[in-house]
């Protein structure tokens, strides 16, 4: 059967199946839903006689929607993908069971207790942690064990199929040779100017394109909103702050600012008494008062030999590094000041602040003004925020709330779940706008905390469902799309004509760009589509040129392949390519198995 699977893995169906398995029951397994998922009769499909219920599909869909994995306008497409994923999952589990695969309770126990997320700080399995972690993701111990058993069986199937496939040494060497290959070629990008005349777009062509691509002209579900923003910064804008207060705030910043300090340390104990240490400190202070430099005195008197030669420099300090007494003295000093004697466990110290790490007053002035002004209105802001909560909850509109708080009720244009701008684009705002309470019931939203200093409440003023925009409204877009498509087709036709002429030996006036000895990875200036096509063209005969064309969206290019060579090997890259090739082969085998199971299984969709 493996040969049959490998044959099927090469088919176009296998390439489609890989995209189908996007959601499986590995995300779920809530034991309390077992009854709901039982014989409810609300079946959407059966797989080998076993039902898949609508509730299973909806649970997967809603979980994906709530986690923002899929945009709301793709919910319908998601349901189909979820159903196909559940069918694939059921087929794989049936295949495992029919093949005699099973997982014992002892195996499950060992897997569970060995998982680090269920272990405490000592590396031991913790029953309470186990239950707590499962509960947070919607599992009970029983449902988790069932899901884990299915995962293990699927893993056995995958490992067995992958192990049955292999790459021969000759195949690996051939891959390495292809990886080392270089090509020298010329290329030229065709443009609309190369056409004899610009393409023309008729009304009939526009209508046909519009009818065939209406999904491109969908207008999403939209609302018009009224909203109020309470902004502490706006409240503070008119507050006057005196220059004296600004200076005091700037000076206060220095109290906790990092600073560079130097010290002179005098120890006492076995060799020197405390009185002698104090006398030595007094002598140093007298020398400082007479004008001697702190650096020189540190070199002469300090018992801290690790800093004395550097003028006592201790570097930049932050609160919390030295002892309380030392820091209180150091952070009480201004730049250039020297402390009185400070006693620590090490002895007596004279401390000098040589630099304070703070911005100058001019650069800090505006920030300090905003900070002080907002502090003055903080209580008023909090009072208004509570008033906003109370009144918006009870009011039947927003205008009366805005009037009571002295705020402006603003209105939006039509906005959808995506694409809102400004304050409406902030997290949580559009979720509230499209919530059941606001959109469905017509209530004011909850007060949304945008950040520490802004609050917003909104109300839906108007609503319109998703719809296809009429051709008249999207005429310019349709015309541009048709023109681009026709231009691309005309350029492809021109490219084929030029290739035919070049192959026939005609000499054409073409402004070629050269790419010499280019590898598959080392061509940053060559367009990807050109590079890919250049490496697909057949080997040119000695002295001959092979011509081709590359198409990438609306871009069409001519290619003239001149020669093929072998560059230097890159062992790391070659190993990576060989590994990727093996992964792709293994995935093809798995896809082939799934195709085989779908072809031979009994699947009914309702």
pLDDT score for 163: 66
pLDDT score for 460: 96
Cα 208 from chain centre: 39
pLDDT score for 18: 30
pTM of the model: 0.47
Tell me the DSSP string of 153-193: HHHHHHHHHHHT----HHHHHHHHHHHHEEEEEEEEEE-GG
Nearest to 585 by CA among 176, 167, 168, 174: 167
Q: What token pair was written down for 252? A: 């206060």
The total of other beta-carbon atoms located within 10 Å of residue 18's CB is 13
Q: Which segments in the chain show pLDDT lower than 70?
A: 1-41, 59-60, 62-76, 136-139, 162-176, 251, 254, 359, 523, 569-584
Interval 163-206: pLDDT, tens: 666 666 666 666 667 777 889 999 999 999 999 999 999 999 99
Specify whether the CB–CB gap between 560 and 547 falls below 8 A. Answer: yes
Beta bridge partners of 349: 265, 342
Cα 493 from chain centre: 42
The total of other beta-carbon atoms located within 10 Å of residue 340's CB is 11
Strand extents, DSSP E, 471-589: 513-519, 546-552, 555-566
Interval 486-496: pLDDT, tens: 999 999 999 99
CA distance 502 to 1: 50
Round to the nearest angstrom and report the end-to-end CA distance of the chain: 30
Nearest to 35 by CA among 53, 62, 50, 61: 53
Question: Exposed, middle or buried: residue 42 (CB in 10 Å: 0-12, 13-18, 19+)?
Answer: middle
């Amino acid at each position: 059967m493996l040969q049959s699977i490998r044959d099927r893995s090469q088919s176009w169906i296998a390439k489609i199946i890989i995209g189908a398995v996007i959601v499986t029951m590995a995300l779920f397994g809530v034991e309390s839903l077992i009854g709901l998922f039982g014989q409810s009769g609300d079946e959407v499909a059966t797989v080998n006689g076993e039902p898949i219920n609508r509730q299973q599909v909806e649970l997967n869909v809603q979980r994906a929607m709530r986690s923002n994995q899929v945009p709301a306008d793709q919910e319908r497409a998601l349901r189909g993908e979820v159903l196909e994923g559940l069918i694939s999952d059921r087929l794989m589990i049936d295949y495992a069971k029919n093949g005699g695969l099973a997982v014992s309770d002892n195996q499950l126990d060992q897997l569970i207790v060995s998982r680090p997320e269920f272990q405490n700080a000592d590396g031991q399995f913790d029953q309470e942690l186990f239950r707590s972690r499962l509960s947070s993701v919607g599992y009970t111990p029983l449902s988790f064990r069932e899901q884990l058993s299915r995962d293990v069986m699927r893993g056995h199937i995958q490992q067995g199929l992958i192990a049955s496939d292999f790459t021969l040494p000759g195949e690996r060497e051939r891959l390495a040779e292809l990886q080392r290959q270089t090509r020298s070629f010329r290329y030229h990008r065709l443009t609309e100017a190369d056409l004899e005349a610009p393409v023309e777009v008729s009304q009939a062509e526009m209508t046909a394109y519009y009818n065939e691509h209406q999904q491109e002209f969908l207008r999403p579900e939209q609302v018009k909103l009224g909203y109020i923003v309470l902004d502490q910064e706006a409240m503070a804008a008119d507050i006057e702050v005196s220059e004296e207060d600004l200076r005091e705030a700037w000076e206060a910043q220095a109290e906790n600012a990092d600073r560079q300090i130097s010290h002179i340390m005098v120890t006492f104990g076995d060799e020197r008494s405390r009185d002698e240490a104090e006398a030595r400190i007094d002598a140093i202070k007298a020398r400082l008062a007479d004008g001697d430099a702190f650096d020189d005195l540190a070199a002469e008197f300090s018992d801290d030999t690790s800093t004395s030669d550097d003028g006592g420099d201790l570097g930049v300090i932050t609160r919390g590094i030295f002892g309380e007494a030392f820091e209180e003295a150091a952070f009480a000093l201004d730049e250039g000041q020297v402390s009185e004697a400070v006693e620590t466990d090490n002895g007596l110290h004279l401390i000098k602040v040589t630099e304070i790490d703070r911005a100058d007053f001019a650069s800090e002035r505006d920030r300090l003004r905003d900070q002080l002004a907002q502090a003055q209105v903080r209580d008023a802001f909090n009072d208004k925020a509570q008033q906003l909560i109370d009144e918006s909850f009870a009011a039947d509109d927003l205008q009366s709330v805005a009037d009571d708080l002295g705020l402006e009720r603003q209105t939006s244009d039509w906005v959808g779940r995506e694409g809102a701008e400004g304050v409406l684009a902030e997290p949580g705002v559009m979720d509230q706008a499209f919530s059941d309470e606001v959109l469905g019931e017509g209530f004011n939203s909850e007060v949304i905390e945008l950040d520490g200093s802004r609050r917003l409440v909104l109300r839906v003023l108007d609503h319109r469902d998703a719809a296809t925009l009429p051709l008249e409204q999207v005429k310019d877009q349709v015309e541009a799309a048709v023109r681009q498509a026709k231009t691309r087709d005309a350029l492809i036709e021109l490219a084929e004509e030029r290739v035919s002429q070049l192959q026939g030996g005609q000499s054409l006036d073409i402004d070629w760009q050269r790419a010499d000895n280019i590898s598959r990875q080392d061509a940053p200036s060559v367009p990807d589509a050109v590079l890919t096509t250049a490496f697909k063209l057949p080997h040119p005969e000695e002295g001959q040129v092979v011509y081709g064309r590359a198409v990438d969206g609306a871009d069409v290019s001519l290619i003239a392949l001149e020669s093929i060579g072998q560059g230097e090997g890159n062992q790391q890259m070659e190993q990576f390519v060989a590994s990727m090739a093996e992964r792709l082969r293994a995935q093809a085998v798995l896809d082939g198995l799934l195709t085989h199971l779908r072809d031979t299984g009994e699947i009914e969709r309702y």
